Structure 1
Amino acid sequence: MSKINLACLIEDDPVHIYLSKRYLESSGYIDNIHIYNDGKEAYEGLKGDWESKKTLPEIILLDLTMPVWDGWKFLDEFTKLPIEKQITIYILTSSINEADRQKASGYNVVKNYLVKPITMPALVELIERMED
């Protein structure tokens, strides 16, 4: 497994931000992490990076339930951008609703749907399996 230059965490809960960031940093696979607290902030930041030809993340961990723009709104808008880079998105949410799982599977960019809380071994496995 090669190193990931940039990961993006889109999450509004400070506890989940802390844990996910700590796990990502401790994994040894991630060089840089950008954190956004809602979908709109993430969309605007990533769109700006794309427009100015800055580095985009290889992986996005996306919560569904957030203020301003939820994860669904982010996905709807982000997938409209003509970004050529392969970006893998993992839903990381507290929702156990089967309808949410089905909806997530309808997005080509979403690789997996994970229910919080995520553990360090689960996150490392997710990163290691990215190239599969």
Structure 2
Amino acid sequence: MRFEVLVIDDDQITLMLHKTLVSRAGLHNDAKKFLNGKLALDHIIENDADDIAYLALLDINMPVMDGWGFMDGYLAANLKSKLYVVMITSSVDNPDRERAESYPMVIDYFTKPVVKEQVAKLSEHEAIKPLLSA
């Protein structure tokens, strides 16, 4: 199975930081960066196949299409690819965490700033671990 990591955030510095963390944590050497959920969703739709899985490090609050819109769009598109999401936010609101947990593809929830240890721990997640050895 092919595996891609998508870093989705409207801040260029955060995009670069998260891409670097993904690489240093050994998850993926070439994470793709997107400035909003629509660009990332378009990428997934254009490359949809049953032999690809995505791990998205997804910011909640973005212009054009936020994290919620991205996940709603993915579900509505009824795609063949697998999607696993780590929600990333500066919000400490419990309603955001509870809402994130209501989506079947959300596997974790990080509050900014994200650190390497958090990203590295994803390699042990039951959904992600098999993708790294494929």
Could you tell me the TM-score, scaled by structure 2's length?
A: 0.84
Which residue is equivalent to 2:62?
66
CA distance in 1, matches of 2:44, 2:52: 7
1:32-43 → structure 2 map (5 Å cutoff): 32-43=30-41
- 1:64–1:92 Cα contact (<8 Å) kept: yes
Q: Which amino acid aligns with 1:83?
A: L
- 1:6–1:57 Cα contact (<8 Å) kept: yes
CA pair 88-26 structure 1, distance change in 2 beyond 3 A: same
Q: Which amino acid aligns with 1:35?
A: K
Q: How many residues align?
A: 127
Which residue is equivalent to 2:22?
24
- 1:5–1:32 Cα contact (<8 Å) kept: no
CA distance in 1, matches of 2:51, 2:34: 16
CA pair 78-15 structure 1, distance change in 2 beyond 3 A: same
CA distance in 2, matches of 1:15, 1:55: 31
- 1:64–1:70 Cα contact (<8 Å) kept: yes
Which residue is equivalent to 2:94?
98
How many percent of aligned residue pairs carry the same amino acid? Answer: 26
Which residue is equivalent to 2:9?
11
CA distance in 2, matches of 1:8, 1:130: 19
CA distance in 1, matches of 2:27, 2:6: 13
CA distance in 2, matches of 1:102, 1:77: 19
Asked if residue 113 in structure 1 is aligned to residue 109 in structure 2, the reply is yes
CA distance in 2, matches of 1:120, 1:21: 11
Deviation at 1:65, TM superposition (A): 0.6
CA pair 95-73 structure 1, distance change in 2 beyond 3 A: same
Alignment equivalent of 1:81, drawn from 72, 77, 83: 77
Query: What SS does structure 2 have at the residue aligned with 1:6?
Result: strand
Could you tell me the TM-score, scaled by structure 1's length?
A: 0.85
Structure 1 segments of 4+ aligned residues over 6 angstroms from their partners: none
Deviation at 1:32, TM superposition (A): 2.9
CA distance in 2, matches of 1:70, 1:59: 17
Alignment equivalent of 1:48, drawn from 46, 49, 53: 46
Which residue is equivalent to 1:128?
124
CA distance in 2, matches of 1:55, 1:9: 20
